[in-house]
């Protein structure tokens, strides 16, 4: 490490204008000499022997915008950054593998993670210190960013031993993170025990986990819901419906345009952090659909339809060939203010709604004083009595008029890049919900998005790419891309009975096994074996806002085993369950996705329908199977005379008297042949 002056000659200027990421382009006019994460930037750091200042964020991140305005647009701070560091800006949604790695490093330093992530690296890309948001001047108990820059640069120049010690400790930590937390294995009894522990985390008054901020946590809620379906203990179902009711009626939901915000900043689900993310809404549509199938609560059906409509209208991204996929996010800010697009003054409501204003104000708690910074976030009272049909029609008309008025405002920016894994979640949500609510248009949208990924985010060798924006596909896929797109393919296969989707899932899993599986310790790495610009390959197992790659792969492998009868899928699924089973409940609470998917492996329900695809009786049996309130079902439709694999429980079965016939199989044992939809429905609900 060389150099004695406080600042060095700045490296060449800002290079973000040519990037595809909307987030990176937001910073293209900063006086900071930003670079994207690439070989050239890393080589320049080595050539100049300068530490790297790595800033990771995303386009819809409010505090990323704050730090940008306060520091990255400030000439004095930019001069320090340019003179002391090689400055690299990363969109965490484009490179989740880099984000996961450096978020883990920050956690190992004893700091809470989040965005913006500010990490300081050696020229080799190894972290030695970091944090999240830093104010321009000391406040909030945090040092000013200028102080941080000078201190880190001085440390790098003058204390090589301290830098080396930090690097070595973190390097050892990365090795541990890539080592599976093996335990004695999973069981259905252990799932119930984990669900009981998860239940104790739920706020009994407001739903969600106790305290603020409150995140929807659909992955944890699904663990509780499945525990209810197994045990019929109402405490589990009550925890889920209490939370979903609060989400659907609170300020976290956009009552005019549809869709859920990322989280609530308060305990009452009133004040959201206003950005809307595709993945949150995909996971919530999936969960609400599953719970509606059991409860038939009208509120959930309405929120599902409204949220899907928001996705199809405001999040659609169409390629030149007409295929339409879904954008990543809507920003929290508009016109430089968080939430400005979504909040209302009482006077505005009165002017637009006239005679309907009093009813609307009572229902959505609109007051002259407001409920947030002098304005009103719309929400409905969960404890209020039911309104009449006539009143609900008036409110629906009022919402339509207010939405039309809101369209005249400056909207939040949209991050229009298409991500393979997030689109996989939404494709699956649409494919699962379409038959339940008899929405052919939702299924068509799922097909279109699937075609988009297959055409525009797939390389010539069949491998996925992670992101597409403005006609360009870039960045190596992660295991989560393969897991979520394979899950989407299997959902489409179950809903349509078309073999092309099963074939695609098989091909993607083959690629995942070849390039992501750890052949020494087991488990899937987040990054492929030929992703060369990352210093350590992590193994995702903990569920965060999105499901972990290994947990999601367990479900994919289990479904492929049940569909094909091929032992290789079942054995690898069992390996994942054992490798990541851990040895204590606290650990298990961090992996609710893997726990939920293990039940599919342990106690699945297989439905095999033998009949010709164009026979209405075959279609009727198929529809009955895919709409039943039985989450752990795997449905196959095969033509008469088709030889099922030898390992399949329905091998050797055939249609009865030439009529389309269903077989319901549990624990590798099939029941009697069924030829009527009523008998099939009864058999499914009796299991």
pLDDT value for 649: 85
Q: What is the DSSP letter of 408?
A: T
Q: In what order do the strands lie in the sheet with 414-415?
A: 276-277, 329-330, 414-415
CA dist 91 and 20 (Å) reads 10
Terminal Cα distance for the chain, rounded:
68
Cis peptide bond prior to 381, omega within 30° of 0: no
Q: What is the DSSP letter of 11?
A: P
pLDDT value for 178: 86
pLDDT value for 342: 98
pLDDT value for 537: 94
Q: State how beta strands 324-326 and 117-121 pair.
A: unpaired
The answer for residues whose C-beta is within 8 angstroms of residue 140's C-beta and 6 or more apart is: none
CA dist 221 and 199 (Å) reads 9
CA dist 612 and 637 (Å) reads 9
Return the H-helix or E-strand segment holding 637: strand 633-638
pLDDT value for 181: 80
Identify the structural domains of the chain with CATH numbers, from first to last. Answer: 22-177 (3.40.30.10), 188-333+415-602 (1.50.10.10), 342-408 (no CATH), 605-685 (3.40.30)
Encoding tokens for residue 230? 């197994």
pLDDT, tens digit, 9 for 90 and up, residues 505-556: 999 999 999 999 999 999 999 999 999 999 999 998 999 999 999 999 999 9
pLDDT value for 139: 87
- Token pair 């509606």 in the structure block, residue: 292
CA 18 vs. chain centroid, Å, equals 27
CA dist 54 and 58 (Å) reads 13
CA distances (Å), origin 267, targets 221, 230, 374: 17, 30, 19
CA dist 52 and 50 (Å) reads 6
pLDDT value for 408: 97
CA 519 vs. chain centroid, Å, equals 27
CA dist 401 and 352 (Å) reads 7
Q: Are 4 and 44 in contact, with CB atoms under 8 Å apart?
A: no
pLDDT value for 652: 86
What pTM was computed for the model? 0.95
CA distances (Å), origin 156, targets 35, 37, 44, 50: 21, 21, 17, 8
Q: Are 267 and 214 in contact, with CB atoms under 8 Å apart?
A: yes
Q: What is the DSSP letter of 140?
A: T
Positions of the chain with pLDDT under 70: 1-12, 382-385, 687
pLDDT value for 8: 45
Q: Could you tell me the maximum CA-CA distance found in the chain, to the nearest angstrom?
A: 90
């Amino acid at each position: 490490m060389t150099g004695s002056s406080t600042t060095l000659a700045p490296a060449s200027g800002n290079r973000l204008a040519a990037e595809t990421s909307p987030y990176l382009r937001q910073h293209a006019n900063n006086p900071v000499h930003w670079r994207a994460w690439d070989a050239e930037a890393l080589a320049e750091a080595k050539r100049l022997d300068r530490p790297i200042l790595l800033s990771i964020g995303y386009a819809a991140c409010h505090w990323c915008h704050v730090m940008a305005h306060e520091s990255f647009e400030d000439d004095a701070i930019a001069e320090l950054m340019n003179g002391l560091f090689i400055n690299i800006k990363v969109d965490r949604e484009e490179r989740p593998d880099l984000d996961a790695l450096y978020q883990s490093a920050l956690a190992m330093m004893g700091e809470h993670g989040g965005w913006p992530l500010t990490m300081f690296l050696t020229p080799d890309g190894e972290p030695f210190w970091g944090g999240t948001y830093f104010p321009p001047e000391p406040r909030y108990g945090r040092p000013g960013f200028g102080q941080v820059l000078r201190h880190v640069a001085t440390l790098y120049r003058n204390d090589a031993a301290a830098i080396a010690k930090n690097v070595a400790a973190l390097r050892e930590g990365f090795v541990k993170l890539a080592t599976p937390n093996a335990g004695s294995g999973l069981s259905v009894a252990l799932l119930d025990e984990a669900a009981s522990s998860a239940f104790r985390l739920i706020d009994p008054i407001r739903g969600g986990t106790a305290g603020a901020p409150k995140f929807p946590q659909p992955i944890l809620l699904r663990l509780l819901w499945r525990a209810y379906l197994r045990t019929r203990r109402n405490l589990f179902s009550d925890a889920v419906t209490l939370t979903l009711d609060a989400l659907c009626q609170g300020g976290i939901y956009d009552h005019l345009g549809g869709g859920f915000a990322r989280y609530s900043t308060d305990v009452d689900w009133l004040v959201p952090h206003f950005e809307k993310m595709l993945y949150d809404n995909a996971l919530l549509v999936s969960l609400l659909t599953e719970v509606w199938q059991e409860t038939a609560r009208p509120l959930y059906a309405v929120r599902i339809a409204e949220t899907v409509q928001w996705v199809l209208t405001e999040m659609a991204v169409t390629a030149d060939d007409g295929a339409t996929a879904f954008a990543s996010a809507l920003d929290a800010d508009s016109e430089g203010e968080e939430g400005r697009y979504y909040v209302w003054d009482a006077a505005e409501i009165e002017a637009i709604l006239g005679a309907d204003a009093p009813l609307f104000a009572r229902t959505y708690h609109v007051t002259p004083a407001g409920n947030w910074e002098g304005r009103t976030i719309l929400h409905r009272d969960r404890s209020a009595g039911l309104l009449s049909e006539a009143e609900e029609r008036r409110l629906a008309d009022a919402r339509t008029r207010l939405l039309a008025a809101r369209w005249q405002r400056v909207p939040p920016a949209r991050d229009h890049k298409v991500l393979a894994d997030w689109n996989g979640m939404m494709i699956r949500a649409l494919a699962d919900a379409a038959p339940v609510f008899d929405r052919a248009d939702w299924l068509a949208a799922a097909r279109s998005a699937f075609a988009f990924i297959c055409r525009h985010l797939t390389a010539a060798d069949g491998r996925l790419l992670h992101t597409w924006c403005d006609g360009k596909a870039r960045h190596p896929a992660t295991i989560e891309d393969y897991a979520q797109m394979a899950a989407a393919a299997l959902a489409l296969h179950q809903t349509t009975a078309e073999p092309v989707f099963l074939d695609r899932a098989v091909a993607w899993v083959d690629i995942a096994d070849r390039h992501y599986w750890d052949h020494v310790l087991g488990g899937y790495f987040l990054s492929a074996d030929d992703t060369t610009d990352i210093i350590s390959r992590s193994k995702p197992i903990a569920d965060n806002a999105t499901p972990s790659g290994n947990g999601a792969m367990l479900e994919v492998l289990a479904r492929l085993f049940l569909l094909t009868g091929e032992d290789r899928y079942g054995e690898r699924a069992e390996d994942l369950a054992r490798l990541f089973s851990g040895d204590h409940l606290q650990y298990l609470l961090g992996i609710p996705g893997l726990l939920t998917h293990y039940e599919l492996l342990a106690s699945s329900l297989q439905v095999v329908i033998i009949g010709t695809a164009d026979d209405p009786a075959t279609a009727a049996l198929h529809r009955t199977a895919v709409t039943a309130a039985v989450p752990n079902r795997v449905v196959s439709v095969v033509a008469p005379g088709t030889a099922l694999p030898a390992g399949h429980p329905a091998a050797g079965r055939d249609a009865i008297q030439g009529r389309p016939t269903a077989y319901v199989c549990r624990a590798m044992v099939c029941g009697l042949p069924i030829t009527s939809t009523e008998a099939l429905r009864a058999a499914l609900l009796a299991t």
